[in-house]
Structure 1
Amino acid sequence: MTSSTHPDAKGLALGVSAYALWGVLPLYIHLLKGVPSLQVLAHRVLWSVLLLAVIVIVMRRGPAILAAARQRRTLLLLIASAALIAVNWIVYIWAVQNDHVLEASLGYFINPLVNVALGVAILGERLRRIQGVAIAIAAIGVVVLALDGGGSLWISLTLAASFGMYGLVRKVVAIDALGGLTVETLLLAPACAAWLVYAASTGEGAFGHSRHLDLLLVLAGAVTATPLLLFAAAARRMPYATLGLLQYIAPSLQFLEAVLLFNEPVHTVHIITFVLIWSGCALYAWDSLRALRAPVAA
């Protein structure tokens, strides 16, 4: 695992690509609005398994992945990461399908706060003074929304916490991006397959009724696996706190989609909250960029 202080160019490119793809994910999920959330989740997992199986076979990575997964600590960590990403997916899918893209975007604005806290508390990464101020400003934004009643703040907090913990586990687990995602989806696959069989048996299954819808569900594999592989690879090449540089890309795109495309209502408290969080993220990003450009001490 890379433990350098500064991300390399490839790590930066991987991270930007992952967050850009996540930023436009609501557009895809909206096309599946008539499909129950659990079925969307199940299709995401099962079609990802097929896609990843092809990649693993072509790259001849099967034996190495199996050997890594046989390690007890690795397997336990992957069970934890599989559970975390499943929670994140189902909450996110439900939020988008029920017109809560604004709250979902807020969750991913909060996510850098979670990453920094985990990086400092668990990985021993240092927090500079300006970074601390940035985190405090963004945290005030969350408090403002909570004091207002929060609305669907639970969506934001669940997404932030689950994905923050997922990224931490994937950073420390002794397996690469492809292997980790393959094992995670395999762990989730039996339950997902059982749910789709049950839905079909009750006549509520979405698959098989429309070629257009079937194609969208099949594409769930690529839509799911691609940004996760990019993110997992980036997380292993970058200091965990530095991922906060990139994480505002996805929620900024999602926020614009919620307001401009999905016409979700924006209240005064939302504006105050987002301005504070954007300000905190911008200050944090500026300080991190300044540190990256500073000459490294001998």
Structure 2
Amino acid sequence: MNLSHLLQGGLAWTTCAYVVWGLIPLFYQHLKGVDAMEIFAFRVLWSVPLMALLLWITSTPLRVFRLLMEPRSFAWLFVSTACISTSWYLNTWGATNGQVLMVSLAFFLTPLVSILVGVFYLKETLTRLQLVALLFCAGGFLYACLNLASFPWLTVGIAVAFGGYGIIKKQVRIDTLNGLAAESLLMVPFAVFYLIGNAGQTHWEQSELDTQILLMLTAPMTILPLGLFAFGVARLKNLSTIAILQYIEPTLYFMLAVFVFGEVIDQERLTTFVLVWIGFVVFSYDAIRRAKLARRASRITLDEPASSGAA
């Protein structure tokens, strides 16, 4: 398989998106000491013009304002905005407060939330392997709750917010770029309210130019991987590949936390991660297996009319 084929297929673009997401803690280490809410506020404000630019560059039809005017779409987008805002804030707080390891665990547990929502809300039926994966992930989470020094609120918050975000996005038929543009617009009033309420006390006003530049760069650090992801997913023929690729991000978080930032990986945390990793392997295997069965069934269905005609 040559390079041009990889790029056209979307696998390379999607992989790059998850790699960039996974390395973002390296960027936020330079903003230690800056309040996570201030980082979030500037991330939102600078994202709006960048989203407009990205919509224009990709020639994506502008549907943002029409969606915000529809009551049902607005309601779902408002809830999804609350979820992604919570995830952004907690992720940023964890990256700037020496909790990258627990953020990593949150993203490993996200499929657990998605499975639970699918079972209880969408009335989906679990396969045997999904049930096994669920039990291992749940076991890892319960072990963490019982054995860690404090309840892992950061992990729970991110996993629930991000997992809920993925489910909610399925309720609104909107492309990735327009969806994020709408969510960014909905966040703007809260960002502005925070900055006005803290006027004269923010790092933006009190720090040197390098900190201001870093705060401005929080937006492209958000938009760049999103653009790579949207570009890649649109070209992926086998979307079940994402079930595997999505774990690049928390894996890189884990490696950075342990080998770069020197966060402690004691027996309790290691046991938790091992249980969750086993669940992840089972979950991924099941996703790949079901995707292969679906493709095989579709090929058989396509071949049947031709065979009947030949007879």
TM norm structure 2: 0.82
Name which of 196, 216, 219 aligns with 1:218. Answer: 216
Go from structure 1 to structure 2 and tell me whether the alpha carbon gap of 1:245 and 1:62 turns closer, same or farther (over 3 Å shift): closer
CA distance in 2, matches of 1:39, 1:202: 12
Tell me the SS of whatever aligns to 1:151.
coil
Larger Rg: 2
Tell me the SS of whatever aligns to 1:42.
helix
Q: In the alignment, which residue of structure 2 is the partner of 1:158?
A: 157
Q: In the alignment, which residue of structure 1 is the partner of 2:114?
A: 115
CA distance in 2, matches of 1:152, 1:255: 19
Q: In the alignment, which residue of structure 2 is the partner of 1:205?
A: 203
Q: Which amino acid in the other structure matches residue 226 of structure 1? A: L
Task: State the superposition RMSD in angstroms.
Answer: 2.8
Offset of residue 62 of structure 1: 6.6
Q: How does 1:246-265 map to 2 (within 5 A)?
A: 246-265=245-264
Go from structure 1 to structure 2 and tell me whether the alpha carbon gap of 1:22 and 1:32 turns closer, same or farther (over 3 Å shift): same
Offset of residue 222 of structure 1: 1.3
Q: How does 1:117-266 map to 2 (within 5 A)?
A: 117-149=116-148, 151-199=150-198, 201-207=199-205, 209-228=207-226, 234=233, 243-266=242-265
Q: How many residues get paired? A: 289
Go from structure 1 to structure 2 and tell me whether the alpha carbon gap of 1:96 and 1:240 turns closer, same or farther (over 3 Å shift): same
Q: In the alignment, which residue of structure 2 is the partner of 1:296?
A: 296
TM norm structure 1: 0.86
CA distance in 2, matches of 1:208, 1:139: 45
Go from structure 1 to structure 2 and tell me whether the alpha carbon gap of 1:58 and 1:12 turns closer, same or farther (over 3 Å shift): closer
Go from structure 1 to structure 2 and tell me whether the alpha carbon gap of 1:252 and 1:100 turns closer, same or farther (over 3 Å shift): same
CA distance in 2, matches of 1:77, 1:198: 28
Tell me the SS of whatever aligns to 1:175.
coil
Tell me the SS of whatever aligns to 1:195.
helix
CA distance in 1, matches of 2:187, 2:275: 37
CA distance in 1, matches of 2:274, 2:185: 40
| Identity across matched positions, percent | 34
CA distance in 2, matches of 1:259, 1:83: 31
Q: Which amino acid in the other structure matches residue 79 of structure 2? A: A
* Structure 1, unpaired ranges of 5+: 1-8
Q: In the alignment, which residue of structure 2 is the partner of 1:35?
A: 34
Q: In the alignment, which residue of structure 1 is the partner of 2:25?
A: 26
| Contact 1:116 1:240 (C-alpha < 8 Å) held by counterparts | no
Tell me the SS of whatever aligns to 1:24.
helix
